[in-house]
Amino acid sequence: MQKAKGTYDVYGEYGRKVKALERILEDLMQVYNYEYFRTPIFEASEVFHRGVGDTTDIVTKETYDFKDRGDRDMTLRPEGTAGVVRSYIENKYYGNANVPSKLWYYGPMFRYERPQSGRFREFYQFGVEVFGTNDPAIDAEVISIPVNFYKMLGLKQIKVHLNSLGDNESRNNYREALKAHFAPHLDELCEDCKVRFEKNPLRLLDCKVDCDLEVMKKAPKITDYLNEESKKHFELVQKYLEAMGIEYVVDPSCVRGLDYYTNTVFEVEASVEGFGAQNVLCAGGRYNNLVKTLGGPDTPGVGFALGFERLLTALEYEHINLIDEDFIDTYIIPMSENEKEFSMSILNALRSLGFKTDIDYMSRNLKSNFKQAERLNAKFIIIIGEEEAKTGVLTVKNNNTKEEFKVKLDDLVEFLDEKLDECNCGDDCHCGDDCHCGSNCHCKEEK
């Protein structure tokens, strides 16, 4: 049996990188004061049809739709925003006095796309959604999250492409202008575009088939159709970005493939050598109509989502290492089955106190166990033989210096606390000449 096309398994070093990224993002969300939010992986199809839009590629060509056993139309979520909005409304989150509601989420999304580098059928998105304010400063905050995150990770040449799709009035005017522009050229357009022309002319601009046509290149630009209010919003977003030191380019071709956007839209690219076409690391924008469209009160929203897979590929190409060397504090070696029970009690006690501990489950001989301790990067080895079990005086070996100690069971925790503190000195090393540092210590090389 093989995994389904466009999916992938996570294990080993890749898994450690994924987990490291998740941890960094969780910490970052605390710094930004965002709250964790989780919605189901499948929703009634209507959530995405009405939310993402009936004329978008995502909904017309890419959703995983199915009937459940109750004959209901269900869809695996192709993105996070529509589900979060559905939940925001259903749980009456708009009644929360703590506004704006700043939410973050993370999880798998599903799109039936042609798999290629950076494009999967199951992929993971981290995203944020902010509800309850139309302040352009929050647009700037939302854009700052991925930019600061990518910079923090060490990615260079981060490019923000910024555009505004304007409010309803601006977009209606623009829609008319697009229709007038494309009407004489309908026969040059692909079949999909003919439908887009009727149903949603804005979608014409992100057609992957017709994008090189002269008529596409000469299409009117939304920025020429923004009314005063939309213009002001867009200018303020730019001012706040500048105040935050975030570089951007205004890019009228950035229209985004989802129907719900109003005003600010953006994409963030990283210039990574060998990265290829899928270099959009994340994207987002404002959606002031979506909460109302899905049945809630008139509430503005703005957000973005970033793909994990593309980010991990970018980090790999840029040789950015996310994972510290793995280690454990102690590795316990019972010398025979007779000492297993006593050893298991020590294992459990140490773990319950937070020591990273493992034990031999393979009945290895002492030599192979020492090798295993090396593989696990154990800082200390606790050897438990007949004598140790009888007297309660354990043999504890510093796996780095190979020094051996006899430690009474009652003193074990205090001993490890003290010794591991020495070993964990890391970058703030004050241990001077006494250092018997283990693998985690960076001061070793300096000596």
| Binding positions for ligand HAM, rule: CB under 6 A | 79-81, 111, 113, 119-120, 123, 125, 127, 129, 258, 280-285, 303-307, 309-310
Mapping DSSP to helix (H, G, I), strand (E, B) and coil, where does residue 70 land?
coil
- Of 81 and 357, which CB lies nearer to ligand HAM in the complex structure? 81
Shortest distance, position 271 Cβ to ligand HAM, whole Å: 15
Query: CB atoms < 10 A from the CB of 381, how many?
Result: 23
Cα–chain-centroid distance for residue 405?
Answer: 45
The answer to whether the beta carbons of residues 298 and 324 sit under 8 Å apart is no
- Least distance (Å) from ligand HAM to the CB of residue 417? 44
Upper half-sphere CA count for residue 171 (Cβ side, 13 Å): 20
Buried b (16+ CB within 10 A) or exposed e, 70-91: eeeebbbbbbbbbbbbbbbbee
Nearer to ligand HAM, 300 or 438 (CB): 300
Phi, psi of 120 (to 5 degrees): -125, 165
Minimum separation from the CB atom of position 122 to ligand HAM (A): 8
Nearer to ligand HAM, 111 or 196 (CB): 111
CB nearer to ligand HAM: pick between 3 and 402:
3
Q: Which is nearer to ligand HAM, 108 or 220 (CB)?
A: 108
Nearer to ligand HAM, 285 or 296 (CB): 285
* Spatial separation of the C-alpha atoms in residues 186 and 236, rounded to whole Å: 37
Distance separating alpha carbons of residues 447 and 442, to the nearest angstrom: 10
Q: How far is the CB of 303 from ligand HAM (least distance, A)?
A: 3
Q: How far is the CB of 36 from ligand HAM (least distance, A)?
A: 16
> Minimum Å distance from CB 210 to ligand HAM?
20
Q: Cβ closer to ligand HAM: 43 or 79?
A: 79
Residue 399 CB, nearest distance to ligand HAM (Å)? 41
Of 284 and 438, CB closest to ligand HAM: 284
How far apart CA 143 and CA 241 sit, in angstroms, is: 8
**Burial of 137 by CB count in 10 Å (0-12 exposed, 13-18 middle, 19+ buried)?**
middle
C-beta nearest to ligand HAM: residue = 307
Residues 6+ apart with CB under 8 A from 11: none
Q: Please report, in angstroms and rounded to a whole number, the separation of the first and last CA atoms in the chain.
A: 53
Q: Where are the alpha helices (DSSP H) in 294-436?
A: 308-317, 340-352, 366-375, 386-391, 412-423
Q: How far is the CB of 243 from ligand HAM (least distance, A)?
A: 23
